[in-house]
Amino acid sequence: MSAPIVKLVAQRIALGVLLLLAVSVLIFAGTQILPGDVAQAILGQSATPESLANLREQLGLNDPAYIRYFHWLGGVLTGDLGTAMSSGQDIATSIKERLWNTLFLAFWAAIVAIPLAIILGLIAVRYRNGWVDKLISGLALASTSFPEFFIGYLLVYFFAVKWQIFPAISTVYEGMSFGERLQAIVLPATALTLVVLAHMMRMTRAAILNVMQSAYVETAELKGLSAFSVIRKHAFPNAIAPIINVVMLNLAYLVVGVVVVEVIFVYPGMGQYLVDHVTKRDVPVVQAVGLIFAAVYISLNIIADIAAIVANPRLRHPK
Amino acid sequence: MTNELDYLSRRVVAGKLSRRDFLGRAAALGVTAPFANSLLSSAARAAGPVKGGTLKAGLVGGESTNSLDPALMMTQVPFAFGKCWGEMIVELSPEGKLENRIAEEIGSSDDAKVWTLKIRDGIEFHNGKTVTAEDVAATLERHSDEKSKSGALGYMKGIETIKASGKEVVLTLKEPNADLPYLLSDYHLIVQPNGGKDKPDAGISAGPYKVKVNEPGVRHVGERFANYWQGDKMGHADQIEVVVINDATARTAALQGGQVNMINRVEPKIVDLIKRVPGVTIRNHSGPGHYVFIMHCNTAPFDNNDLRMALKLAINREEMLNKVLRGYGSLGNDFPINASYPLFTEIEQRKYDPDKAKFHYKKSGHDGSILLRTSDVAFPGAVDAAQLYQQSAAKAGIKLEIKREPGDGYWNEVWNKQPFCASYWGGRSTQDQMYSTAYLSSADWNDTRFKRPDFDKMVLAARAELDEAKRKQMYHDMAVMVRDEGGLILPMFNQFIDATGPKVAGWVEDPHQELCNGYALAKCWLEA
């Protein structure tokens, strides 16, 4: 790789780190303005004044906010995310498994969804405006337009309750074999695939169609290349940057936006973990999860940027 | 007919007839499915428990913030799992009698002020240690400590001293309390080695199952404890598992798909649909839990008894019971006690009476709309119930304004703070406990702001009274007072509705809590 690329990449990463730092401040500030108080939230309906006061003191809720911020940041930088206020468990340990579960699910959804979306996009372009194109676009749009929970419930109804092919709940745990895990996540992965498919497919189609208007594509067509060769050799490589962008966006969604699917399929991932702790005002956990989500978003965006730069030589030489 | 069914049910248990055929046969004889199912379970009980297998429950009420510390148990999952690994000092039997567990004998002084618990010999903790009087005393000490976060602290504060000597624990109370043994059946009071003072969330007690996996908010697994002291009565499955399924649809699907053997909290509106699923049995039974609308007696306009009475008369209980609970409950009568309490007495049922409500409303002198706050979390169907209430009150000329509050923060911002809102109570095991928790002037959870020195005196007097007839009369008078002058509108008592899949046997009807008072996993077994 040439020097300008390395410099550009380094720049992006540095920017990303700065951005993450800024996000950390925002997250911390955001958690401070949540209504209510963590002690009250933990004890819920059974809170008595004595138990409230005891818990507040024990949780150190009396220090000023900026001290708690730097304390927290220092911990994060040394890999210590603190302990959950509500259960007293080490956050890093709890998150490790949850994050792994979320990534596992996202990975398999992506493995299916991304190639499928791109291939369908290519096919749609090849037969653009014909019935194949319309069918693909129609089905993809339909699956995206249904809310996730509806798709999830449909899958559960047919595959778990009616035909009993796959389990209705996708609880995964340590000690499960790889095959069992895969079987457990078939339905949620399918639901996620259906949810993200259309977006990627439509963007692929639009990006390639955009390139298809160019003069060099016309030249290629005039040379007598077959329609698929034109798309594969000339149009697709030039449309790759926007496609990668939308793929990364959807990958990020697969990690941070799957709360509903996790709830329906009882999948022990990050989303459910975050929701539980938000309702308990468990600030350290909310902060840690927020930071991880932000990091996922920022790194995927950096990857998309870098991939676009690598794919398109013109971006390497800004004018 | 019964003979034939008895015979057939024994054949099912022996595996010579399919359950389905049996139900078909029973239907042909004109027997309803629930009755046929109960015949089957009693036949199965008679045949004796079957050991082995893994019994799984899919339950609502678990969060990743749960802990194994019994003091912090609040929701359904820690409660039900706690009954599997924990052992209690005493327990309430399904019939409402006291059942001695770690305590072999409980005696009191004549004034009900000094209580002596004799500790049973030869009960073993999961870590191999024998349960001693010191452990029991330490457990009670931990839960009665002022600094404790225990859910049982409220009533444990009434204990002045706790002393262990030899095989006995002696408790001295600040005030006499004839109900003390009932209080000791509180589910928080799981006996732990040294009272759990060293490591409260270690999950070690003397229950039928040892904690094997504890993943809060995901699943909990218990493995049969070989040295459990009552192995013939509980702990039939080799392994039990609780999977946390908070979504009602997912829970039902898991039962139908066979991933779990039992679920809790079936929504009344889908009970009739689930009943049609082959192999699934609905286990519904009444308990002390109730759905309420609460008014603060000390806040205008609710500080006027005529207005309170008008609001009590303006609610159509029957309609609410039928539409919100689909009949899975019973009518409330504006006091928090029903037949599931030992010393309950019937009081004339209050009925929907728009004319009388109108009369009291006029007399109160109040005019304009009244703000009622509600939320999905107040109780299932609370928003619908509030709307029904609005309509029935409108017929009496009372304008209710309904405000739907977000579920998040409802218990902090609305309940016990706002003057008129929807809520629920799970009930308690004795009248004294219920009234002390929510109707004594000094109670932290006096969510109707019912502050009456004369009522407080009655509670304390009844607590010290050992003559049952006299006590019953006292509780009757207290109930009348709450009903006619309090700030409680209690349209209905809800039932617990659980459901089990095929092969689950040994279910025990228990009015105290859902899932056989939490013991479903420990007491049920899987038919071969």
pLDDT number for residue B307: 95
B interface with A, Cβ–Cβ below 8 Å: 58, 63-67, 74, 146-151, 153-154, 201, 213, 215-219, 243-247, 249-250, 253-254, 256-260, 408-409, 411-413, 415, 444-445
Dihedral pair phi/psi, residue A278, rounded to 5°: -65, -45
- The H or E element containing residue B293 is strand B281-295
pLDDT number for residue A308: 82
CB B141 within 8 A of CB B161: no
Residues of chain A with pLDDT under 50: none
Q: How far apart are CA A273 and CA A281, in angstroms?
A: 12
Q: How far apart are CA A84 and CA A34, in angstroms?
A: 17
Interface touch B148/A36, C-beta < 8 Å: no
pTM reported for the whole predicted model: 0.81
pLDDT number for residue B142: 93
Task: State how far the alpha carbon of A241 is from the alpha carbons of A94, A121, A306, A314, A315, in Å.
Answer: 37, 15, 10, 12, 11
Chain A nearest-CA distance from B260, in A, is 9
CB B352 within 8 A of CB B392: yes
pLDDT number for residue B426: 84
Q: How far apart are CA A253 and CA A271, in angstroms?
A: 11
pLDDT number for residue B124: 95
Interface touch A276/B415, C-beta < 8 Å: no
- Coil, helix or strand for A9? helix
Query: Any idea what DSSP says for residue A156?
Result: I
Q: Which residues contact A296 (CB under 8 A, 6 or more apart)?
A: A252, A255, A256
Residue with tokens 């009087």: B133
* Residue from A274, A256, A260, A249 nearest A114 by CA: A249
> Count of H helices and E strands in chain A?
14, 0
Chain A nearest-CA distance from B10, in A, is 30
Chain B nearest-CA distance from A297, in A, is 24
Q: Positive or negative, the Cα torsion across B326, B328, B330, B336?
A: negative
Residue environment code for B181-208, b if the CB has 16+ CB neighbours within 10 A, otherwise e: bbbbbbbbbbbbbbbbeeebbebbbbbb
- How, if at all, do strands B525-526 and B281-295 pair? unpaired
Q: How far apart are CA A260 and CA A281, in angstroms?
A: 20
**Range 261-280 of A in CB contact (< 8 A) with B:** 263-266, 268, 272-273, 276-280
Tokens representing residue B294 in the block = 């609460």
Q: Other C-beta atoms within 10 Å of B468: how many? A: 11
Q: How far apart are CA B211 and CA B68, in angstroms?
A: 10
- The H or E element containing residue B497 is strand B488-500
pLDDT number for residue B34: 66
- The H or E element containing residue B240 is strand B239-244
Q: Which residues contact A157 (CB under 8 A, 6 or more apart)?
A: B253
Q: Which residues of A are less than 8 Å from B257 in CB distance? A: 156, 160-161, 164, 167-169
Tokens representing residue B432 in the block = 């004294």
- Coil, helix or strand for B198? coil
pLDDT number for residue B465: 87
Q: How far apart are CA B444 and CA B431, in angstroms?
A: 17
> What is the torsion angle, in degrees rounded to the nearest 10, for the CA atoms of residue B11, residue B15, residue B16 and residue B17?
80
Q: Which residues of B are less than 8 Å from A264 in CB distance? A: 247, 249-250
pLDDT number for residue B20: 67
Q: Considering CB atoms only, which of A84, A88, A167 is closest to B257?
A: A167
**Range 181-220 of A in CB contact (< 8 A) with B:** none
pLDDT number for residue A319: 53
Summary mean pLDDT of chain B: 89
Q: How far apart are CA B291 and CA B411, in angstroms?
A: 15
Chain A nearest-CA distance from B270, in A, is 15
- Coil, helix or strand for B327? coil
pLDDT per residue, tens digit, chain B (528 aa), is 456 777 777 666 665 666 667 777 777 777 776 677 677 666 666 668 889 999 999 999 888 888 899 998 878 899 999 999 999 999 988 888 889 999 999 999 988 899 999 999 999 999 999 999 999 999 999 998 877 778 777 778 889 999 999 999 999 999 888 889 988 998 999 999 999 999 999 999 999 999 999 988 889 999 999 999 998 899 999 999 999 998 888 999 999 999 999 999 898 888 988 888 888 999 998 889 999 999 999 998 999 999 999 999 999 999 999 999 999 999 999 999 998 888 899 999 999 999 999 999 999 999 889 999 999 888 888 999 999 999 999 999 999 999 998 877 787 788 888 999 999 998 888 898 899 889 999 887 899 999 999 999 999 999 888 888 999 999 999 999 999 999 999 999 999 999 999 989 999 988 888 999 999 999 999 987
- The H or E element containing residue B214 is strand B209-215
CB A297 within 8 A of CB A248: no
Tokens representing residue B453 in the block = 């020195």
Residue environment code for B362-373, b if the CB has 16+ CB neighbours within 10 A, otherwise e: eebebeeebebb
Interface touch B215/A44, C-beta < 8 Å: no
Q: How far apart are CA A96 and CA B159, in angstroms?
A: 44
* Residue from B214, B191, B209 nearest B66 by CA: B214
Chain A nearest-CA distance from B3, in A, is 36
Q: How far apart are CA B124 and CA A265, in angstroms?
A: 39
**Range 101-160 of A in CB contact (< 8 A) with B:** 153, 156-157, 160
* Residue from A237, A160, A144, A146 nearest A195 by CA: A144
Q: What is the ipTM of this complex?
A: 0.78
CB B304 within 8 A of CB B258: no
Distance between start and end Cα atoms, chain A: 20
